[in-house]
Amino acid sequence: MPVLGRSELIESIRSHRLVVSPILSRDQIGAASIDLRMGNIVLMVRARQASHVDPVALKAAASARGHVSEASRQQKHERYEIPFQTKFLLHPGSLALVPTFEWVQLPSDLLGTVTARSSWAREGLSIATATLIEPRYEVIVTLELSNLGQIPIALYPGLRIAQIAFVKVDGTTDRPGNEQFRLSFEPFQGDIIGDDGSFVPGQAS
């Protein structure tokens, strides 16, 4: 499957077929990818009193309203707003959800793949787990950052820490159901059960 090169990336952005905004520097567009900057919101994943991640408990908390739902969210994540030119320390073994500075909007025939920039990866920074942005998505990309090294990594909002490449997709890309992260402006906990409720207790439809 062909990957968009620099000239096609530039043309796609100029024609508004693809949106990656804002582009603050011409160096942000590479040979076949676009660098993504760290946004200034951080959700730190905390253990607190939880002994394990349970999809059933997460589903119940997501279905709750008001104080119960907010208490559950705060139990799992600590939210920080990091001013520009202020460092955030990512400690070894930690997981942080961080939005990109850029808004990304894909057409129906492109798939986005997100990875860490190699210079940061060599320092131990990993863009963990979810790395695919599906066609038609309009979203601030959430980066799942983890530190695979042995010492903390200082990160500053606005730094280019990730990169996204775009692959052309054959066939139709319409999909049924809700797209849970579409139009999101900052990270939030996803529904890890989805339509698999028949496989866990108390969740059968």
Whichever domain contains 77, its CATH number is 2.70.40.10
- Give, as one character, the DSSP assignment of residue 198: G
Residue 100, in any domain of the structure: yes
The Cα-based distances of 98 to 1, 36, 80 in angstroms read: 29, 12, 10
- What rounded mean pLDDT belongs to the chain? 82
In the annotation, is 186 catalytic? Answer: no
| Residue 37, C-beta contacts closer than 8 angstroms, at least 6 positions apart | 24, 100, 101, 102, 157, 158, 159, 160, 161
Q: Is residue 1 part of a domain?
A: no
- pLDDT tier at 183 (50, 70, 90 boundaries)? low
82, part of any domain: yes
The pLDDT value recorded for residue 155 is 96
Predicted model pTM? 0.75
- What ranges in 77-133 are assigned the alpha helix state H? 118-121
Range of the domain at 136: 6-171+181-189
Q: Active-site residue among 11, 78, 144, 186?
A: 144
Residue 148 scores a pLDDT above 80: yes
pLDDT tens readout for residues 1-23: 799 999 999 999 999 999 999 99
Asked if the structure places residue 195 within a domain, the reply is no
Give the model's pLDDT for residue 70.
44
Q: How many domains does the chain have?
A: 1
Instruction: Please check whether residue 194 lies inside any domain of the structure.
Output: no
| Domain presence at residue 35 | yes
